[in-house]
Amino acid sequence: MGDLVIGARSGAGEPEGAGGRAARSADAAAPTASAEDAAAQSADEHGDGTDDVSKPTPDNTEPAGGTEEQPERKERKPRSFWKELPILIGIALVLALVIKTFFVQAFSIPSESMQNTLQVGDRVLVDKLTPWFGAEPERGEVVVFHDPGGWLADEPTNESSNSFVRGVQNVLSFVGLMPSDNEKDLIKRVIAVGGDTVECEGEGPVKVNGIALNEPYVYAGNTPCGTKPFGPVKVPDGRIWVMGDHRADSLDSRFHMDQPGGGTVPVDDVIGRAFVVAWPINRWATLPVPDTFDQKGLAAAALPAIPAAAGAVGAVALLPLVRRRWNGTDRDDRS
């Protein structure tokens, strides 16, 4: 609008001389004192609101050493599920192998020797951790143990005829994800431990250290002795006497008394205690120790003569002292 105002004033009929035009141009180009004062006052009153291009804003400031570009942050993309799947499978296999080796292992029941407690095809979980701390099998427990020698010599394995299936089974059984079909392990109930005397005459009952066992777990229709009465047998230290619950269909300690160990099993061959039936689901159950093995005196009865013998020896040793004391007291009274 300033140009328009100036152009309107120059429209008067004044003579156009060189000096006049130059004077007017100089006057127009030089700001008046009043205009400068007004501009300065306006700048003082609105100093924060003026746009000064020479004053750098915070966004435009640069370090003294020159410009430095900020590195761009790249967002990490989530890893694909298919890339993570092999890692997850590897971790699962390692964990399964560790659990099988040190904690719990699954075993499949191949025969009828433990009916009706265990049926063919049942899967049991075996505690392998407790033996690591020195615990030994106890009476009444169901245990899995390696063949002590010759017990399963004629027993066929349940391996698949398909080589691929057999290979998969071997891998899965190695890491503990399924029971092994080619290992020759047995599962029985512990009846007596080292130091015990066990026997069964006629139709029973089975006696441990002279105390009769009440065995409700024995297969219906079987007698406690089955078809093989035995004993009395003294179980050596570090060994156990085992029997199947299906007494008429179990080749247990009774049938291997002519072998080294007299039918007993070394404690070192015991893999662990079976504590639960895990499969099939409708067969799920725990495997506790029957109450009959909690009878008073069952363990102490193994050594009944030791306290009496010790007492007799003590009495004999104290006899001279008692006699001397008695004689001294008698003389005092007579005096």
pLDDT per residue as tens digits for the range 114-154 = 999 999 999 999 998 887 778 899 999 999 999 998 898 76
Contacts of 173 (CB under 8 A, 6+ apart): 179, 180, 181, 183
- Candidates 188, 207, 250, 253; catalytic one: 188
Instruction: Report pLDDT digits (tens) over 186-229.
Output: 999 999 999 999 999 998 899 999 999 999 999 999 999 999 99
Alpha helices in 103-240 (DSSP H): 163-175
Q: Is 128 a catalytic residue?
A: no
Element (H, E) at 34: helix 33-45
Alpha carbons 244 and 329: distance in angstroms, whole number = 65
Q: Is 113 a catalytic residue?
A: yes
**Any idea what DSSP says for residue 293?**
G
pLDDT band at 24 (very low <50, low <70, confident <90, very high): very low
What is the structure's pLDDT at 313? 40
Instruction: Report pLDDT digits (tens) over 57-94.
Output: 444 455 555 555 555 666 677 777 787 888 887 787 77
**Best-predicted range by mean pLDDT among 41-45, 127-131, 275-279?**
275-279
Contacts of 209 (CB under 8 A, 6+ apart): 196, 197, 297, 298, 299, 301, 302
Mean pLDDT of the chain, nearest integer: 73
- Candidates 100, 108, 113, 250; catalytic one: 113
